[in-house]
């Protein structure tokens, strides 16, 4: 099992290329109250980016932004349930209001869902896992891309998973959502490449 910090070191070479460029940029990081998203927000802030955080749990968002501010970084947050279209719109509007623009979107929010076989998987739970991973990544990308294209620059990083590439039993919605994110990433990357926007996905294994 890798810790979030160990994960970042694993991806250090590619992340360093980004970090050298993040100073004075604005990053919207979803699912950033805890876990991997929190580590990404902290590292981006340390490297000089203004970070805008979002998730459902205000206490975690408050403590992460407070910690970033105490360390001299710039951070803001808004609570949102990203499985709702209206909340996705509000998050992008709130980030723009706070920092004026979004240079980097990290679609990290997610949850694994029930650990049950396909035939027992409740449809509502299936929809909810797809909504927070795949649908929110699509909606947020749709919302930030027009301004990125107008500026001729921007980065979208989609958090997928090894589950997108290999069969782990009892996680059908998660596997479908994270595999869908790879398809979304490829298409958005192809569309964005000629307009100055880089779109990547990463596929971590288990992270504590
Ligand atoms: N940990 C791993 O082993 C692993 C491996 C591969 C990929 N990943 C992916 O990496 C990402 C982060 O994982 P993690 O381990 O850091 O998970 P985590 O610690 O559970 O954090 C997930 C974050 O997403 C937020 N979130 C969940 N549902 C949300 C919703 N409906 N609306 C808004 N925010 C929501 C959570 O906040 P609230 O609950 O407060 O909303 C939390 O901030 C996920 O996409 C996960 O699938 C993780």
CA–CA dist 35, 53 (Å, integer): 13
Supply the pTM of this predicted model.
0.93
Half-sphere exposure of 167 (CA within 13 A, CB side): 3
Query: For atom 42 of ligand 1, which residue has the closest CA?
Result: 31
Q: How far is the CA of 13 from the centre of ligand 1 (A)?
A: 24
pLDDT of residue 14: 60
DSSP 159: E
Mutate to test the pocket of ligand 1, among 10, 11, 36 (most ligand atoms within 8 A of CB): 36
CA–CA dist 163, 175 (Å, integer): 5
Query: For atom 36 of ligand 1, which residue has the closest CA?
Result: 31
CA–CA dist 185, 198 (Å, integer): 10
pLDDT of residue 91: 99
| Ligand 1 first shell, C-beta below 6 A | 31, 33-37, 55-57, 60, 80-83, 108-111, 132, 159, 161, 204, 206-207
Give the residue among 188, 22, 189, 17 at the shortest CA–CA distance from 99. 22
Could you tell me the strand order of the sheet in which 50-55 lies? Answer: 74-79, 50-55, 26-30, 104-107, 154-159, 197-202
The domains of the chain, with CATH numbers, are 26-202 (3.40.50.720)
Tokens, residue 187: 């298409």
Query: For atom 28 of ligand 1, which residue has the closest CA?
Result: 110
pLDDT of residue 21: 76
Q: What is the dihedral of CA 6, 8, 10, 15, to 10 degrees?
A: -160
Helix (H, G, I), strand (E, B) or coil at 185: helix
Give the residue among 69, 67, 87 at the shortest CA–CA distance from 78. 87
> pLDDT means per 10 residues in the chain (208 residues)?
68 59 94 98 97 98 98 98 98 98 98 97 98 98 98 98 95 98 98 98 95
149 labelled catalytic: no
CA–CA dist 141, 9 (Å, integer): 27
CA–CA dist 205, 208 (Å, integer): 10
Neighbours of 181 (CB within 10 A): 23
Helix axes 85-99, 136-151, angle to 10 degrees: 30
């Amino acid at each position: 099992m890798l810790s979030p910090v160990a994960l970042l070191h694993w991806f250090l070479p590619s992340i360093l290329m980004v970090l050298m460029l993040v100073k004075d940029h604005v990053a919207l990081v979803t699912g950033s109250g805890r876990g991997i998203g929190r580590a990404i927000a902290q590292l981006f802030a340390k490297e000089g980016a203004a970070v805008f955080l979002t998730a459902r749990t205000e206490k975690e968002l408050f403590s992460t932004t407070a910690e970033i501010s105490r360390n001299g970084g710039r951070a803001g947050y808004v609570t949102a349930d990203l499985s709702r279209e209206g909340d996705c719109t509000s998050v992008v509007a709130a980030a723009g209001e706070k920092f004026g623009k979004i240079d980097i979107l990290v679609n990290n929010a997610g949850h694994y869902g029930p650990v049950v076989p396909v035939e027992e998987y409740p449809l509502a739970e299936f929809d909810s896992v797809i909504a927070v991973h795949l649908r929110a990544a699509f909606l947020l990308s749709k919302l930030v891309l027009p301004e990125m294209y107008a500026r001729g620059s921007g980065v979208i990083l989609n958090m997928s998973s090894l589950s997108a590439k290999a069969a782990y039993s009892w996680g059908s919605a998660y596997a479908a959502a994270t595999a869908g994110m790879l398809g979304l990433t490829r298409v958005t990357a192809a569309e964005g490449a000629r307009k100055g926007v880089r779109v990547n996905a990463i596929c971590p294994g288990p992270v504590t």
